[in-house]
Structure 1
Amino acid sequence: MSISASDADDYVTAGELRARYDTFVVDLLGSIAYGELSAFERLAADARHSPSLSDKAVLGKMAVSEFGHYEAMCARLEAMGMDPELAMAPYQRMVDAFHERTRPADWHESLMKAYVVETITEEFYAAIAEHLDAPTREAIAQVRTSDEQVERLTSMLKKMLAEDPRLSSRLALWGRRLVGEALSQVQHIGAKHSFLVGLRPDATHEQAAAEVTKILRTLTRNHSKRMSLLGLTA
């Protein structure tokens, strides 16, 4: 069967679009994978400074979950024929710098960081995953802190604030700093690797930026609601 010049052009265009989408997905999964590996390390370290064994167990369980999320992302990358380490490499410096900037001063700030950062990043990835192919969407759906763990974190923070009301102003300020850093990180990752541009054949960088802005507004509203649950101002 012969292929006309116009058919060949269409074929190449389709191949280019597929390659762009695949690159987008690898970038996305690589960023999630390294973020989850980093979260595992951080939560495991924070657990050592827990004031009680029950608190240690809560953060330890979260750390185990984060490692499971990391493994799920690696499995999806390998199923795509990609090397997870190579996919994660572009994000190592960026994620490490974020955690260095947001290093908690004590146990109270560690708990607030887990509460703020994990939920925001998971919501961001879930919002993007809505546009992806089913296997990738299902893999990203696994990167989620359980409702039980979120409720436990909320209860721990409420108890902490009730026992020492002086913490309220400091943790409210810390929460605002964390959400600002987290949203900046999301924007930075999106700009650096053109997230969302690969989701539609006709997508432009301007459209991608607009979509990210829309997602950021939703993340900010949800963060404000979570802070209100603690009696804190976002």
Structure 2
Amino acid sequence: MEETIAGAPNTQIAGQIPQQRGESLLETAVRYAEERHWDVFPGTWLEAVAGMQRCSCSDASCPAPGAHPARPDWATQATGSATVARRMWQKQPTASILLPTGRTFDALSVPESAGFLALARMERMELTLGPVTLAPDRRMHFFVLPGGCAKVPELVRKLGWSLSSLDLVALGEGSYVAAPPTRFGSRGAVQWACRPTPANRWLPDAEELISPLAYACGRDR
């Protein structure tokens, strides 16, 4: 099943890497590496314990069950090779799909409410978006060119804000995002708010998106 948001506006938010109904995590991870040239690595997974979905990390209070790194050296495990990705998910087919930031893309993370407000504003501005995810923790991640993370504090300051006053987080080297169809315990799956397409293979720079994102975060406070 496609992990996409029903009723998302605009055709730009409607086309995805073709995904077959019932496609496995393994097949999806391989496609990300093969078609988008994204580095991928397997994270934790969900296990049924006493009829409930629990994270494989065994922490009963895990804040992101089944959707975080399974080992501290995850950055060295990440690969852009479809062959290696296939091998890793064959070992653990239910592992979440995690994408390291700071390599082929950075990500700008905002609350869901601010994200949808920003998407509507970007559509009116006719901005070309990269992929955007919506996670069950109610945060959206806008993919931008790598290196964009470092520019964000100064870009926000020029708009009259301080980054500390906005719930806007720039994710670069050393961070990661969970990719569809990764599930966060019983809270549901990560979805595409703006799906990967041939048209958005070339990502926007952080500078192109920061104004509508900062504005939306300021409204959302």
Q: TM-score range by the shorter chain?
A: under 0.3
Greater relative CO (CA pairs within 8 A, separation 6+): 2
TM-score, scaled to structure 2: 0.26
Q: Look at both structures and tell me which one has the larger radius of gyration over its CA atoms.
A: 1
